[in-house]
Chains A and B, each alone.
Chain A
Amino acid sequence: MQILRKSNWEGFKKITKMKRKEIINKVKESGLKGRSGSNFLTGLKWELIGKGTRYLICNADEGEPGTFKDKFILENNPQLMIEGIAIASYAMDIHSAFIYLRGEYSYLKPKLEKIIKQSEIYLKKIKLNIEIVPGAGSYLCGEETAILESIEGNRPIVRRKPPYPSESGLNSNPTCINNVETLANIPLIFLGEWDNNLQLFSLSGDLKKPGIYEIELGTKLEHIISCGKPKKELKAVYFGGSGGCLPYEKFKNLRVDEKTISGKGAVLGARSLIAVGKDRNIVDISKTISEFFVHESCGYCTPCREGNFRVLELLDKIKDRKARIIDVKLLEKLAYHISDTSYCALGVSSTTHLKCALKYFKDEFRV
């Protein structure tokens, strides 16, 4: 796997001989995009950072259901990520970086601290301090502006943009927020022989061999899934909790990338694929995902807070075969309403799963 390559600060040594602008251009030219699912050109993000004291935040608050690729990197090659942080900081003239580490991953903290300690000579050279901040717990904390609130000690509420964090982020200073996988790829860009299309996929669900696989973007759905060795015939593939689902048989020949998936009404996101066997009921799965969002909604806005609660209520009714046609209609209406009118991306994406389910598996929503 490319991501397991040892760099041992070789990439860093190269960039310290380069001008800041050169580094940023190189990252831009590499075509690397945010691997959290945001798909924003990383080099451009770096270029856009505002003036003054700046911060870098490494987003290690991986909370999307079915996603565990950052954990894989943190466990197996964290040095690469730290080196990426150093390069990014140097390129943007940043002297204070934070690793916002998911609470559940706190067992990795000592390990990360050790690496930071061992890297002292390099970090000192560019006067960089790296601090590990424990995540505050909720799913929303993984959203980049909610991280800012959380580090500042506030309730994690998504900030309205503009201003973008690149202008006014942590403590109102320009802040760049990059994901673990994104940063881990940075040294590789400078080492050469790096393929931007090789990305991490988290495979789980009804598979014999769930896990992390490095797969080329654009591979057929069937081939991706076959890495994990399905246990049984598959009905659908879910893209995490918020990315919705597609029927497997129908789309198994689809070449998976961001555009093809969204063309079918789902969202590829951080490339987490959850395989769902034929024996499973879509309403059950909808309920599970919906429970997740009822729990994780921050409560700020009406449609997400109240709407998802009602979605769950209606799904319960359908599951218990107590629903009427108007209930299913209302469910459908709510699904669109919540994504149409919610304040932040969590609410907007909280019903993608439902919209897909109603689009492809409507017959399972029986009354």
Chain B
Amino acid sequence: MKIKIDGRRFSAKEGETILNVAKRNKIYIPTLCYHPDLKPQGRCRVCLVEVDGKLVTSCNTKVMDNMEIFTNTKRVKEARKLNIELIYNNHSGEKELEFSVVAKELGIKKSRFEKPKKEIKSPMERDNMKCLLCGRCVQVCGAIQSINNIEFTDRGISTRISTPYDISIKDSACTFCGQCALYCPGNAIRERAYNEKVVRSLMEEMNKIINKKKFIIAQTAPAVRASLGEMFGMKPGTLVTGKMVTALRKLGFDKVFDTDFGADLTIMEEANEFVGRMKEKKNLPLITSCCPAWIKFAEQTFPFLLKNISTCKSPHQMLGAIAKTYYAQKLKLKPKDLMIVSIMPCIAKKFEAQRPEMKISGCNDVDVVLTTREIGRIIKKEKINFTDLRDGEFDDPLGISSGGGAIFGVTGGVMEAALRVAYEILTGKRLKEIDFNQVRGFEGIREADIKIDNKIIKVGVVHGLGNIRKFIESDRWKKYHFIEMMACPGGCIGGGGQPRPTTNEIRKKRMEALYRQDKKMKIRMSNKNPAIKKLYLEFLGEPLGEMSKKLLHTKYKKRKVKYT
């Protein structure tokens, strides 16, 4: 069909919204509550355009043949501005927020409504005073993640977003996947809420610690290198591994290790666990355990699956445990003399790091977890010119990794890395075709039959809690041997701690980056990582051995929360 926008002719498909057509043709319409991954709501009333003398929201108005649309009239512009002005006082003023960008675009520097609106209290650890009530988080938590832990409550000016019956978030069914925070255009929901230990200014905290003569180690998750650049205006999908390492050194970390190493270690343990369960035909399918939001979800909603979940700790916990033992011994230090800071794309890792099971000789495996967003902010605050940094290299030995560790950050990656190793254990032969393309992709639930030595191994890969719920409740899970679960859409590259904005498009770019990295690596299989080999030789013995069990494995328990 044909339509006209601002006097120019365009063709459009039936069922398309005005906003879609405009976007495709690079016509700017500001938006706030709209997000490409979510259903349009028409709440914020910022994407107004004029049709037939009426103001309509372009995000949820479908085009009609011969429709004539104006995006730029005085009336449109004024109405958009006034709606931004009406919520302007609710925003925090941080420059990079989506809201701030839109406000700036529309030329709004202050609001004519001076007084902040009356205070709204809710026990949720979120800042209602910065909430724009765009409703994205509610949609993400419900329609996408299927947790339905937050909703609009009350009405009129007292409208707020809260948990069922205003219970505290820690008693609630929140899995800490952090997708709500990821979609927030105004920083009202954010990671700070999840961790008392969070470092306000890392430098301040570190100086304190340095006085106590601690040896501070940073480790970075696979997904962080594929997204951190976005915080500094770099294109989604740019790998910034080297710059990230340099920035962390500049911040004063004594060593910078790579969680990819931890991932390789996880694969060694998990692949062996899988082979063992296959042989004994016990507790199959084996389900991956590296995603802490999935673990909490399983503990509270699907406790009958706990025996199927791998007992492996997640990679950063493993690395923490190894650093505080094996590496500390090398330095002739005690576990408590080390401080491990994990830089993660994830908010649930903060929760995970504080689980009582995640300890070795009385010390937490990991002391502090910072998200990609947080470390980005710290780098900015310290005025480090990130884009101009030279590339640095991870430190030895816990900085050496394989391609298998690298792809941990994407949905299907853990599965692929495990299959690479499992193949060799099961067959005793060298794996020639390293890419398992069958498990790659973005489809919410994927499955494949992998042939190893005339045996068919049925594997499933599921990402997004909503898909996971569907997958389990439909009993589909029973027909597999091995399943990978990731709470966040896209896996860790789309994690709750990643830079904003994150969209499915951006997720795919980050994904490609990690596959690129894997392709380029000399060692692509975890069992070929020399540092891993050495670790087993010098310290651990063998996978699933006594030492491994003590340091690298954990257990789960049924968890009671209110209103699942």
User: CB distance A301 to B45 under 8 Å?
Assistant: yes
Does A186 reach chain B (CB closer than 8 Å)? no
User: CB distance B45 to A341 under 8 Å?
Assistant: yes
Does B203 reach chain A (CB closer than 8 Å)? no
Partner of B113, one of A297, A302, A310, A343: A310
Instruction: Tell me the chain B residues, 100-150 only, with Cβ under 8 Å from chain A.
Output: 112-113, 115, 117, 133
Residues of B within 8 A of A310 (CB): 86, 113
Does A138 reach chain B (CB closer than 8 Å)? yes
Greatest chain B CB density within 10 A among A160, A296, A302, A309 is at: A302
Does B66 reach chain A (CB closer than 8 Å)? no
Instruction: Tell me the chain A residues, 292-331 only, with Cβ under 8 Å from chain B.
Output: 294-303, 305-310, 313, 330
Name 17 interchain pairs, CB-CB below 8 A, sorted by A.
Answer: A160-B60, A295-B155, A299-B154, A299-B156, A301-B44, A301-B45, A302-B45, A302-B46, A302-B86, A303-B82, A303-B83, A308-B157, A309-B156, A310-B113, A340-B75, A341-B82, A343-B43
Residues of A within 8 A of B157 (CB): 294, 297, 299, 305-306, 308-309
User: CB distance B133 to A299 under 8 Å?
Assistant: yes
Residues of B within 8 A of A341 (CB): 45, 48, 55, 79, 82-83
Residues of B within 8 A of A309 (CB): 117, 156-157
User: CB distance B151 to A155 under 8 Å?
Assistant: yes
Does B345 reach chain A (CB closer than 8 Å)? no
When chains A and B are docked, how far (Å) is the Cα of A301 from the Cα of B48? 13
Does B385 reach chain A (CB closer than 8 Å)? no
Does A349 reach chain B (CB closer than 8 Å)? no
Chain B residues proximal to chain A, CB less than 8 Å: 42-46, 48, 55, 57, 60, 75, 78-79, 82-83, 86-87, 112-113, 115, 117, 133, 151-152, 154-159
Q: How far is the CB of B172 from chain A (nearest CB, A)?
A: 19
Residues of A within 8 A of B115 (CB): 313
When chains A and B are docked, how far (Å) is the Cα of A310 from the Cα of B55? 21
Contacts A294-B156, A303-B86 given; 5 further ones with Cβ under 8 A? A299-B157, A302-B45, A307-B86, A308-B157, A309-B156
The 7 A-B residue pairs with the shortest CB-CB distance, nearest first, are: A299-B159, A306-B86, A309-B157, A297-B156, A302-B83, A341-B45, A299-B155
When chains A and B are docked, how far (Å) is the Cα of A306 from the Cα of B385? 40
User: CB distance A295 to B45 under 8 Å?
Assistant: no
- Known contacts: A301-B45, A306-B117, A337-B82. The answer to whether A330 contacts B112 by CB under 8 A is yes
Q: How far is the CB of B32 from chain A (nearest CB, A)?
A: 9
User: CB distance B42 to A343 under 8 Å?
Assistant: yes
Partner of B45, one of A294, A313, A334, A342: A342
By beta carbon, the residue of chain B nearest A306 is B86
User: CB distance A296 to B42 under 8 Å?
Assistant: no
- Known contacts: A302-B87, A337-B82, A341-B83. The answer to whether A160 contacts B42 by CB under 8 A is yes
By beta carbon, the residue of chain A nearest B153 is A155
Does A333 reach chain B (CB closer than 8 Å)? yes
Instruction: Tell me the chain A residues, 6-48 only, with Cβ under 8 Å from chain B.
Output: none
By beta carbon, the residue of chain B nearest A309 is B157
Residues of B within 8 A of A343 (CB): 42-43, 45, 57
Q: How far is the CB of A346 from chain B (nearest CB, A)?
A: 11
Q: How far is the CB of B90 from chain A (nearest CB, A)?
A: 8
User: CB distance B155 to A303 under 8 Å?
Assistant: no
User: CB distance A297 to B44 under 8 Å?
Assistant: no
Partner of A295, one of B82, B86, B87, B156: B156
User: CB distance A305 to B83 under 8 Å?
Assistant: no
Partner of B155, one of A297, A313, A342: A297
By beta carbon, the residue of chain B nearest A307 is B86
User: CB distance A298 to B156 under 8 Å?
Assistant: yes
Q: How far is the CB of B119 from chain A (nearest CB, A)?
A: 13
A-B contact count (CB 8 A): 83
- Known contacts: A306-B117, A309-B157, A313-B113. The answer to whether A299 contacts B152 by CB under 8 A is yes
User: CB distance B43 to A301 under 8 Å?
Assistant: yes
Q: How far is the CB of A19 from chain B (nearest CB, A)?
A: 37
When chains A and B are docked, how far (Å) is the Cα of A155 from the Cα of B138? 13
By beta carbon, the residue of chain A nearest B86 is A306
When chains A and B are docked, how far (Å) is the Cα of A306 from the Cα of B133? 11
Chain A residues proximal to chain B, CB less than 8 Å: 138, 155, 160, 294-303, 305-310, 313, 330, 333-334, 337, 340-343
User: CB distance B45 to A305 under 8 Å?
Assistant: no
Residues of B within 8 A of A330 (CB): 112
Residues of B within 8 A of A337 (CB): 78-79, 82-83
When chains A and B are docked, how far (Å) is the Cα of A155 from the Cα of B150? 13
User: CB distance A305 to B112 under 8 Å?
Assistant: no
Q: How far is the CB of A330 from chain B (nearest CB, A)?
A: 6
When chains A and B are docked, how far (Å) is the Cα of A297 from the Cα of B159? 9
Residues of A within 8 A of B113 (CB): 310, 313
When chains A and B are docked, how far (Å) is the Cα of A337 from the Cα of B75? 10
Greatest chain A CB density within 10 A among B113, B155, B157 is at: B155
When chains A and B are docked, how far (Å) is the Cα of A334 from the Cα of B86? 10
When chains A and B are docked, how far (Å) is the Cα of A361 from the Cα of B156? 28
Residues of A within 8 A of B79 (CB): 337, 340-341
Q: How far is the CB of A331 from chain B (nearest CB, A)?
A: 11
Residues of B within 8 A of A307 (CB): 86
Q: How far is the CB of B106 from chain A (nearest CB, A)?
A: 14
Q: How far is the CB of B78 from chain A (nearest CB, A)?
A: 8
Residues of B within 8 A of A138 (CB): 155
When chains A and B are docked, how far (Å) is the Cα of A353 from the Cα of B260? 65
Residues of A within 8 A of B75 (CB): 340
User: CB distance A340 to B83 under 8 Å?
Assistant: no
Residues of A within 8 A of B86 (CB): 302-303, 306-307, 310
Q: How far is the CB of A107 from chain B (nearest CB, A)?
A: 25
- Known contacts: A300-B43, A302-B43, A341-B55. The answer to whether A333 contacts B156 by CB under 8 A is no
When chains A and B are docked, how far (Å) is the Cα of A341 from the Cα of B155? 19
Partner of A301, one of B42, B78, B82: B42
Q: How far is the CB of B103 from chain A (nearest CB, A)?
A: 13
User: CB distance A302 to B159 under 8 Å?
Assistant: no
When chains A and B are docked, how far (Å) is the Cα of A342 from the Cα of B44? 9
User: CB distance A302 to B155 under 8 Å?
Assistant: no
By beta carbon, the residue of chain A nearest B112 is A330
Residues of B within 8 A of A299 (CB): 133, 152, 154-159
By beta carbon, the residue of chain A nearest B84 is A302
User: CB distance A305 to B133 under 8 Å?
Assistant: yes
By beta carbon, the residue of chain A nearest B81 is A337
Residues of B within 8 A of A305 (CB): 133, 156-157, 159
When chains A and B are docked, how far (Å) is the Cα of A333 from the Cα of B79? 10
When chains A and B are docked, how far (Å) is the Cα of A302 from the Cα of B151? 17
When chains A and B are docked, how far (Å) is the Cα of A296 from the Cα of B113? 21
Residues of B within 8 A of A301 (CB): 42-45
Q: How far is the CB of B404 from chain A (nearest CB, A)?
A: 46
Residues of A within 8 A of B151 (CB): 155
Q: How far is the CB of A308 from chain B (nearest CB, A)?
A: 8
When chains A and B are docked, how far (Å) is the Cα of A343 from the Cα of B40? 13
Residues of B within 8 A of A303 (CB): 45, 82-83, 86
Residues of A within 8 A of B159 (CB): 298-300, 305
Q: How far is the CB of B562 from chain A (nearest CB, A)?
A: 19
When chains A and B are docked, how far (Å) is the Cα of A297 from the Cα of B83? 16
When chains A and B are docked, how far (Å) is the Cα of A296 from the Cα of B156? 6
When chains A and B are docked, how far (Å) is the Cα of A298 from the Cα of B43? 11
When chains A and B are docked, how far (Å) is the Cα of A297 from the Cα of B45? 15
Greatest chain A CB density within 10 A among B46, B117, B133, B156 is at: B156
